Every structure is written in structure tokens, then in C-alpha cells.
Amino acid sequence: WIRPGVTAWMWLSEGFQGQRTESTLKKYVDLAHDMGWTYLILDEGWQPGGRGSYNGYFPFFADLVEYAESKGVGFIAWVLKEDLDTPEELDVLNDWAAHGIKGIKADFFESESVERIDGLEAIYQKCAEEHLIVNIHGANKCTGERATWPNVINRESLIGQEYGGVWCTNTTIWPYTRGVTGAMDITPHLYPTPSSSTTAAQQLALNIVF
């Protein structure tokens, strides 16, 4: 049931509001389908309520899942790390899986403390039980845990596009340093931002090299 794949992502282009607008979500489902990509990330805002306040689903959500499935596209749902801290909080993953979610993008770990690493392990296990893939954002680098939890398909832990751009002083060495420990979630634009030191050709190559 573990399906690695390229993911469409619209946070940098559509922001919070794009995650809760049916027509925008369907537009990106169509993009993923047309490009032959496997997933679309539903980032912050995909459920009613603000950050850390998950109040069920928008009225269009069931139809959206059906539409995406008809296009062969699965959803990966963004979630705050602090909202998966206890066994009771982890139970939300049961409901998400039952509603057609294929994986999660858990965010804002920002520590290598024992508590955070134990929290990661609990998330991995619960997601494995629910047949959910995992993309860890805002966290330490990979340390070989995929040997135990092959559903953990990606991890950020680098200074990527969300920081305003990417720079060739980093991207040219990451495959030989950061990439040694596991997969990298690079999330590149096609065109470099004004502050980047890359070219459009290099931005495109990041998708392949990483």
C-alpha cells in the first residue's frame, strides 16, 4: 500500500485560502493528473478552523475525494506536530484514513529531543497501522528510520524554497551531504526567486536530482 510519488503542492502559490476553495483544489488535482503525479498536499487550512483547530471537513470534501480518486490522485494532509502528541490526538488519523486521506505531512518538530523523536516514532507506528504514508516537515534529518518504517517516504530538514529561495552554494552539495541520510523534500519553484542564485534549468533539475 506504500506508493511513493511526486506531489503537487500549492502553498507558495495559493496560500491558506487555496486549501479551502473547492475550485482551486480541483484545479491542482487536474494538474497532478495531467502531470502524472501521485498526490496533492492539502496544506494548512484544508479543514474548517484555524491552525491546530480541526473541525471536521468542508461540505465539498467527500465530492473532492471522489473527484481526485477518479483522476488517480491521492491526498496528503498537513497537520501540526503538537496536534499528534497523545494517543487520543493520534486517533484523528483513523478518521482521516476512513475519509480517503492517503498520508500526512506533519510539521514543526524543530528539535532532536528524546521527546520529539519518541513522538515521531508514535506517528510512524499509528500511520503504519492506518496505511498512511508520512512526510515529515520542519524536523531533523533522516537517521535510517525508513528501514523500520518504510511508510516514511520523505522529510524536509533543509533550507528549501519556503525560505525565500534556494542557493547553488547549498543545492550543489546537498546530494552528497543531506542526501546521504535519506530523501529530501525540496519543494522547488520552476523559476528562481529574485534572491536565489540558481537558474530555471537548475530549479528544474532539483526535482530529478533530489
Q: Is the Cβ–Cβ distance between 151 and 2 less than 8 Å?
A: yes
Q: Is the Cβ–Cβ distance between 137 and 185 less than 8 Å?
A: yes
SS3 154: strand
Query: How far is the C-alpha of 23 from the C-alpha of 67, rounded, in Å?
Result: 12
In angstroms, the Cα distances linking 43 to 14, 29, 66, 78, 179 are: 10, 14, 19, 5, 25
How far from the centroid of its chain's Cα atoms is residue 172's Cα?
A: 23
Catalytic residues: 107, 162
Which distant-in-sequence residues (6+ apart) come within 8 Å of 45 by Cβ? 15, 16, 17, 18, 19, 20
Residue with cell string 533539475: 205
Q: Is the Cβ–Cβ distance between 120 and 139 less than 8 Å?
A: yes
**C-alpha cell at position 62:** 467527500
Q: How many CB atoms lie within 10 A of CB 85?
A: 15
